[in-house]
Amino acid sequence: MAMITTEWTGTEYFPITELSHLEFYVGNAKQAVHYYRSVFGFQPHAYSGPETGQNDSVSYVLKQNKIFFVITTPLTSSHPASDWLKQHGDGVRDVAFSVDCAETAHDSCVSRNAKSVHSSKSWEDKTGIFKKSAIQTYGETIHSFVETKNYDGLWAPDYEPLTLPELKFDDPGLLFIDHIVGNVEEGKMNEWRDFYENVFGFTNFVVFDENDISTQFSALKSRVMRSKNWKIKFPINEPASGLKKSQIEEYLDFNEGPGVQHIALLTEDIIKTITALRNNGVDFLYVPETYYDDLSNRIGTIDEAMEKLRDLGILVDRDDEGYLLQLFSKPVEDRPTLFYEIIQRKGSRGFGQGNFQALFESIEREQDARGNL
């Protein structure tokens, strides 16, 4: 049975202001940038590559309100991203935090047995000093700690403004990253829950077991970790025993290990956002008409028109604090790994438990079509 608590029981070892950015390793950054601009509505922000003195990779920084994506492609076979891409395909390499002090954040985590990727490094240009450190988390994902209190540049040293031709698209109005979901192997979920509790001092504020998230064929378990200021929310999933292969097992097979499964992007008007994203070409999971037959009885009065939600396939769930609206894309890569959730919160701080069965049955239909159920 689901357990949800809003009480803070963690320890803030060092302050984390917010998510800084996500860095993606991709095989072709130019194409990925075009996709995220034309389909998800991101704007060009900054660039680093051979033209700026970075000879073994290119990185494009894209921005939408408070969401920053860094799209990186290696230019040589010796760059670490080349081996990463060979194993995992396109995906999230770095979930980066904004912190007051990169050195303090890194050393604090390492003192509690986190594995260091690199200690605090400094880069300087005419606009100031930029600092960054990093530690390892599940799979080959890392957490960077970004310190910019003494840096007034566009992004970081060796980055220049990114100017690209204008594109026509519907603006989806995505505001910031609501949460990031990681998939880990069976039996490893509690280990990573302990990691975020012990290393970061986060609180485990939601517990879902296989009875909460299951269908006729498959099941999963989840623990949701959060920071003290609620800016960081990390569900961690593992597969549970079922009659057939779960979506988590499919992810682990095709990603060849643990990693970031999906990214939830927050909006203040999900009807406008989903309309725009559908017009731009986002392929969302199918929600059967029967889902809406008794939705009003299940969730009570809401602000949105039920017919509009039905037309767009938007899911709704209510809890003691309010309600939320959400919809999930199909995988955005050829490997069935990374996908997106669009979410609007109207009081609820939950994750849509009442929608789990409809959602996972829809995912299973896609798995079955791929021959992976």
Distance between CA 68 and CA 43 in Å, rounded? 10
Architecture of domain 171-370: Roll (3.10)
CB atoms within 10 A of CB 5: 11
What integer pLDDT is reported at residue 202 of this predicted model? 96
* Gyration radius of the chain's alpha carbons: 20
The encoded tokens of residue 339 equal: 């996908």
The phi-psi region of residue 321 (left if phi > 0; otherwise alpha if psi is between -120 and 50; otherwise beta) is alpha
Please give the CATH number for the structural domain made up of 16-161.
Answer: 3.10.180.10
Are 130 and 145 within 8 A, CB to CB?
Answer: no
Q: At 33, list the tokens.
A: 């940038």
In the chain, at which residue ranges do the beta strands (DSSP E only) sit?
A: 3-4, 16-25, 43-48, 57-64, 67-74, 91-99, 116-125, 128-136, 142-147, 160-161, 176-183, 203-208, 219-226, 233-240, 259-266, 315-319, 322-328, 339-346
For residue 297, with 0-12 CB atoms within 10 Å meaning exposed, 13-18 middle and 19 or more buried, which class applies?
exposed
Domain limits of the chain?
16-161, 171-370
Cα–Cα dist 67/76, whole Å:
29
> What three-state secondary structure class fits 155?
coil
Same fold, 16-161 and 171-370: yes
Give alpha helix (H) positions in the chain. Answer: 29-38, 80-88, 102-111, 189-195, 247-255, 270-280, 295-299, 306-312, 356-370
Per-chain mean pLDDT for the chain: 92
Per-residue confidence (pLDDT) for residue 287, from 0 to 100:
87
What is the reported pLDDT for 288? 85
Q: What is the pLDDT of residue 214?
A: 58
CB atoms near residue 313 (< 10 Å): 19
The string of pLDDT tens digits covering residues 82-139 is: 999 999 999 999 999 999 999 999 999 999 999 999 999 999 999 999 999 999 999 9
pLDDT beneath 70, residues of the chain: 1-4, 210-218, 241-244, 354, 356-360, 373
C-alpha distance from residue 292 to each of 116, 184, 346, 352 (Å): 49, 33, 19, 15
The three-state secondary structure class of 308 is helix
Residue 315 near residue 299 (C-beta atoms within 8 A)? no
Alpha helices by DSSP H, 136-246:
189-195
Residue 257 region by backbone torsions, left for phi larger than 0, else alpha for psi between -120 and 50, else beta? left
Predicted confidence at residue 243, as pLDDT, reads 57
pLDDT digits (tens, 9 = 90+) for 226-270: 999 999 999 999 988 665 677 889 999 999 999 999 999 999 999
